[in-house]
Structure 1
Amino acid sequence: MTQAPPGPLVEIEGLSIRFDGLDGPKTVVRNLDLVIRPGECVALVGESGSGKSVTARSLLNLAGDGARVDARRFLIEGEDALAFSGARWRALRGAFAGLVMQDALTSLDPLRTIGQEVSEVALRHGLVRSSGRDALVSATLASVGVPEPEVRARQYAHQLSGGLRQRALIAAAIAGRPRLIIADEPTTALDATVQVQVIGVLKELVRQGAGLLLVSHDLSVVAGIADRVLVMRDGEVADAGPTADVLARPRHPYTRELIAAVPSADSRGRLLSSGRIVPDDSGAIRITRDPLPARRAIGDGALLEATGLTKRYRRNVAGPGGREAFTALEDVSLVVRAGEVVGLVGESGSGKSTCAKILLGLLEPDAGAVMLLGQPWSNVPERRRRSLRSRLQYIPQDPLSSFDPRYRVAEVIGENLSGIEPHVRRRRILGLLERVGLDGAFADRSPRLLSGGQRQRVAIARALAADPVLIVCDEPVSALDVCIQAQVVDLIAELQSRLGTALLFISHDLGLVHHLADRVIVLKDGRVVEEGAAERVFQSPAHDYTRALIAAAPRSLVGGAAARAVA
């Protein structure tokens, strides 16, 4: 007698989630249907605020304080979840369902080691004895690509890179071997090779019978793992179905907009947010885009020149002494010319951020030197750098953490407008806001009340206020959903074209670097392993590591348009 297939892990019909606020109830999810079966991955995609995360968290009764969750049918493994007690929900968390959140630094307890975080669920639910804790931790960390797992288990979250923190968070979620994994943007902070490892782990768990609910704004990740996809907009499902069908033949205009916003080699020199999908005669989709403004010629002389940069640290390790020397950068040299866009890529821990800090004059190298506009920039007192400081600016990954929390937007931008009359200063601020696509009303708002895309525009306006010759962009759009990312990338590219400002663009998104960069520098283990024109590096990589990076990147991000990849 054939055994009946197992029933759904989650079965929801007509889900509605609303919050009671000062202005009355606000519904953030409306009439959503969701089924997750063992051995399948269902993806939720859509822009920020579309209801993806609150939908995912409702499966653990973690939708948020004041959330009212209603549904015609809400079953967890066949049981009515709307009738669950608080104790029943707590018993499910970690054992039935593991949650992977986006911001690992705030999700991991700063006072507990990584080993304590990973083993918590297994110990609390009696899935492992204390004697087996270390073996479980090491095996789970290794399974998500954490190097030296025994060492990392003894470290704290702040001692790990962003990519390692995210992998540790995933390990903590899967250590209890849950039947359902809820992953909310689990690969946002990861480079291509580690992303492949993590997605591979999630795929294997699905192959073994776990269900996976993946929340992501990365359509390439979704295309590579999800069986079915729900496209959400304004709390409702705009498009749904098997992943290949939804991405190859998108029915809703918003789904088409998402697909057209993915950067790639084919989008070079074009405006991402102008993408329009046009079906061709074969039924596949083709993307057309408007051109960027004509660029100024790249200069011959070096704006910034770094020679032989080396930086070493000491880090915690297991064993006698507990400390060892660690080389973050070794003999790194690079040049950025006037009007040039240079992409700096490499996996987490490759030295990208350390290099950026040295180039910005925020960290002194142990060896080597940096010259800016022909003058010494590194290894000199800050007073000697002060006259040049405004010519080199920075756009961070998390702009809010770089803003003074006491400042309004006008004061944030005004930091780079000292020494001018108040009325002239105000006029310049309003002009800069207009240049980055924000109206004057934003000048008096608190950055805390702005969206991620709006904050990033304020960070760009602050950088431009100083009339820089070079801007260092450190993962400036990695935390943004794909449509907002396209708008911000277009803004950076348009301003670069019109103003001729040079960019050092640091990113783990190879498709984005291919879209923007004139030249690419590849870092591995603190060394430059390859450098050259972007087209040459991406089309004919010379180093094995570069080839591995490009091979690991999702197909739609390297060497072809999203249209071809999902068709």
Structure 2
Amino acid sequence: MSSVWSQKDRVAPIVEVRGLSIGFAGANGGKPIVTDFDLTVSPGECVALVGESGSGKSITARSLLNLAGEGARTAAHPFEIMGRDARSFGEADWRKLRGTVTGLVMQDALVSLDPLRTIGQEVAEVISSHRILTDPGAIRDRTLETLGKVGIPNPADRALQYAHQLSGGLRQRALIASAIAADPDLIIADEPTTSLDVTVQAQVLQVLAERIREGAGLLLISHDLAVVAGIADRVIVMRNGRVVDSGPTRDVLTHPRHPYTRQLIAAVPSGQSRGSRLASARFEPGAVDTTALAIVREPLPQRQAAGAVVLEVEGIAKSFTAPKAVGRTKSVVLQDISFDVRAGEVVGIVGESGSGKSTCAKIVLGLLPPDEGEVRLLGEPWSSVAEAGRRRLRRKLQYIPQDALSSFDPRYRVKDIVAENLPGSGSRGARRERIVSLLDLVGLNADYLDRLPRSLSGGQRQRVSIARALAAEPSIIVCDEPVSALDICIQAQVLDLLAELQSRLGTALLFISHDLGVIEHLCDRVLVFQNGRIVEQGATEDVLGRPQHAYTKSLLASVPDIQRGLRADVAAA
């Protein structure tokens, strides 16, 4: 590390900002997007920023790296990093700071990682460019050690792979490795565990916690309040660019003062929220102890009873051969997978990254052929026939992805995206009327018809994705992590929407998620995947409430929990 940064007494704050405002010329009616924001992060401390999308969390964190965006106007007094006045920094100062003093972990690893470099090269560049080490052998050893720290298996092999060759969870771990490779004083982590399963999430949080114990500061942006409870010392709640609540984590999460903070906490899905509208959740005085606050929710519509089988999966298996760079070894991804889904039923699939969940979904969708076994849709052959033979039934099986934006044609407007799945016949007026009715069904209106995807919020995009799926009047929809990237309030709205539509239309859902709280809230049955096999299955309340298999128990033990996190905080103190 440069001596410029190491001379400061480490007892002093790493970051101290008062009265921060951030704005852009011509945006937000000329008003700042972030107003009067105060932040202090000390060595060995974690401060968490929480709030809905658009509240100003990410742009606030980026301003600490001078990455708020082109044309950003930032003002604060003081604005100090490691005791130096950042307002006087030139670009060379900012470049020196990034990587050694501050490390940044973004949510979208696929966009953040260089597609032309292996992940080993990505991590090694941080070490070599800042001259942390100069010997090639030492750089390689440090690179592999760092990859192993964040839970990447076989780091020597994985270091030779590119981002597109890795699962979402492995990509995110590689990105975190590049952020901590130079042992920065401050780590800025923007939703670092959003795409990770609970076991890998626990590993990554343990790595971040270890860096905190070693004296680094952590600024964590997360919509997962259970994660925040387990690692943060203080919480700052933002809404519309302002701080509405702040204080020690225990105080904010157990005695929320602001109505918005209460809304965030009440909207967290769990087994207790099953059958209720998450977005309706609110705190009210308890019936017995009026000084205590209790969560009150409105009920969802009555569910239809499960009907006839719409999807049958029998004994499917799938293997892949690894790239030449890692030895052309054969990897078994799925083995003897069998289950069915009935009309009106929601079946969940859980398991850690690499357990075969997404591969199973691709086979069900007819995007990947199984090596063995068969999939039948509505009683007819599906996986064993060519696409031409599937075309007649294709509309009956739809898909809602995790990243709606990447599934849209960027040239298409909302009306074009939804129209993709409409039948070919009908007048232009009738088709427009049908599109408007579908948007209305998902809580949007005709004002959105001519909007482009990039002008929509994350929750609005996911609603358009749901409307597109419903346009085909499907019998079953495969949902692959459809709410994992959404903040708590938007997640609650989308889960309510899926539950309401599923109750009203009787459409079956095959729901893949690493969030066991979401599974408990939404699903009737659950399948637990491990190493390509189903190790436990049954009614959700049985599997997750009374697990029998050791792996299911380990998954549940890894799930972050608000109360468990706060209890651990007390024990540590």
TM over 0.5: yes
| Partner of residue 255, structure 1 | 261
| Partner of residue 425, structure 1 | 431
| One of 303, 315, 324 as aligned partner of 1:308 | 315
Q: Residues 26 and 119 from structure 1, CA distance in 2 versus in 1: closer, same or farther, beyond 3 angstroms?
A: farther
Q: Does 1:187 align with 2:193?
A: yes
| One of 214, 219, 229 as aligned partner of 1:223 | 229
| One of 504, 508, 514 as aligned partner of 2:510 | 504
Report the Cα distance in structure 1 between the residues aligned to 2:463 and 2:484, rounded to whole angstroms.
14
| One of 365, 374, 377 as aligned partner of 1:360 | 365
Q: Give 1:25 deviation, angstroms.
A: 3.2
Q: Does 1:131 align with 2:137?
A: yes
SS state at 1:27 partner: coil
Aligned residues of 2:229 and 2:562 also touching (Cα < 8 A): no
SS state at 2:329 partner: strand
Give a deviation string over 1:26-61, Cα, whole Å, max 9, x none: 411101110000001000111111110111111111
Q: Which moved more, 1:468-477 or 1:120-129?
A: 120-129
Q: Give 1:282 deviation, angstroms.
A: 8.0
Report the Cα distance in structure 2 between the residues aligned to 1:160 and 1:502, rounded to whole angstroms.
30
Q: Give 1:453 deviation, angstroms.
A: 0.7
Report the Cα distance in structure 2 between the residues aligned to 1:253 and 1:53, rounded to whole angstroms.
22
Aligned residues of 1:510 and 1:557 also touching (Cα < 8 A): no
> Aligned letter for 1:311?
K
Q: Does 1:68 align with 2:76?
A: no
SS state at 1:347 partner: coil
| Partner of residue 81, structure 1 | 86
| Partner of residue 340, structure 1 | 345
Q: Give 1:179 deviation, angstroms.
A: 0.9
SS state at 1:537 partner: helix
Report the Cα distance in structure 2 between the residues aligned to 1:383 and 1:5, rounded to whole angstroms.
67
Q: Does 1:442 align with 2:448?
A: yes
Map 1:375-390 to 2 at 5 A.
375-390=380-395
Q: Give 1:138 deviation, angstroms.
A: 1.1
Map 1:226-245 to 2 at 5 A.
226-245=232-251
Aligned residues of 1:263 and 1:557 also touching (Cα < 8 A): no
Report the Cα distance in structure 2 between the residues aligned to 1:35 and 1:211, rounded to whole angstroms.
10
**RMSD across aligned positions (CA):** 1.5
SS state at 1:390 partner: helix
| Partner of residue 306, structure 2 | 298
Q: Does 1:286 align with 2:294?
A: yes
Aligned residues of 1:410 and 1:444 also touching (Cα < 8 A): yes
Report the Cα distance in structure 2 between the residues aligned to 1:144 and 1:534, rounded to whole angstroms.
31
Report the Cα distance in structure 1 between the residues aligned to 2:189 and 2:228, rounded to whole angstroms.
12
SS state at 1:387 partner: coil
Report the Cα distance in structure 2 between the residues aligned to 1:102 and 1:132, rounded to whole angstroms.
29
Report the Cα distance in structure 1 between the residues aligned to 2:291 and 2:271, rounded to whole angstroms.
22
Report the Cα distance in structure 2 between the residues aligned to 1:31 and 1:23, rounded to whole angstroms.
16
Aligned residues of 2:144 and 2:156 also touching (Cα < 8 A): yes
SS state at 1:444 partner: coil
TM-score, normalisation: structure 1: 0.95
> Aligned letter for 1:491?
L
Report the Cα distance in structure 1 between the residues aligned to 2:13 and 2:429, rounded to whole angstroms.
64
Q: Give 1:302 deviation, angstroms.
A: 1.5
Aligned residues of 1:44 and 1:229 also touching (Cα < 8 A): yes
| Partner of residue 374, structure 2 | 369
| One of 205, 209, 212 as aligned partner of 1:206 | 212
Aligned residues of 2:47 and 2:232 also touching (Cα < 8 A): yes
Aligned residues of 2:270 and 2:518 also touching (Cα < 8 A): yes
Identical-pair percentage: 64
| One of 58, 61, 81 as aligned partner of 1:56 | 61
SS state at 2:256 partner: coil
TM-score, normalisation: structure 2: 0.94
Aligned residues of 1:361 and 1:378 also touching (Cα < 8 A): yes
| Partner of residue 562, structure 1 | none
> Aligned letter for 1:310?
A
| One of 137, 143, 156 as aligned partner of 1:150 | 156
Aligned residues of 2:227 and 2:562 also touching (Cα < 8 A): no
Report the Cα distance in structure 2 between the residues aligned to 1:256 and 1:537, rounded to whole angstroms.
30
Q: Give 1:448 deviation, angstroms.
A: 2.1
Q: Which moved more, 1:366-375 or 1:284-293?
A: 284-293
Report the Cα distance in structure 1 between the residues aligned to 2:28 and 2:458, rounded to whole angstroms.
23
Unaligned regions of 5+ residues in structure 2, if any? Answer: 1-8, 565-573
Map 1:478-497 to 2 at 5 A.
478-497=484-503
Report the Cα distance in structure 1 between the residues aligned to 2:87 and 2:402, rounded to whole angstroms.
39
| Partner of residue 457, structure 1 | 463
Q: Give 1:278 deviation, angstroms.
A: 2.3
Aligned residues of 2:229 and 2:561 also touching (Cα < 8 A): no
Report the Cα distance in structure 2 between the residues aligned to 1:304 and 1:455, rounded to whole angstroms.
27
Give a deviation string over 1:86-116, Cα, whole Å, max 9, x none: 1111111101111111110010001111111
Report the Cα distance in structure 2 between the residues aligned to 1:120 and 1:138, rounded to whole angstroms.
13
Aligned residues of 2:405 and 2:454 also touching (Cα < 8 A): yes
SS state at 2:366 partner: coil
Q: Does 1:9 align with 2:14?
A: yes
Aligned residues of 1:151 and 1:317 also touching (Cα < 8 A): no
Q: Give 1:525 deviation, angstroms.
A: 1.1
Aligned residues of 2:347 and 2:524 also touching (Cα < 8 A): yes
Give a deviation string over 1:282-318, Cα, whole Å, max 9, x none: 855421100000111112x321001111111111366
Aligned residues of 1:327 and 1:526 also touching (Cα < 8 A): yes
Report the Cα distance in structure 2 between the residues aligned to 1:160 and 1:265, rounded to whole angstroms.
32
Give a deviation string over 1:197-238, Cα, whole Å, max 9, x none: 100110111011110000111111111100001000111101
Report the Cα distance in structure 1 between the residues aligned to 2:28 and 2:67, rounded to whole angstroms.
23
SS state at 1:115 partner: helix
Give a deviation string over 1:119-160, Cα, whole Å, max 9, x none: 112111111122201110111111111111111111110110
| Partner of residue 539, structure 1 | 545
Unaligned regions of 5+ residues in structure 1, if any? Answer: 559-567
Map 1:313-328 to 2 at 5 A.
313-316=320-323, 322-328=327-333
Aligned residues of 1:248 and 1:285 also touching (Cα < 8 A): no
SS state at 2:410 partner: coil
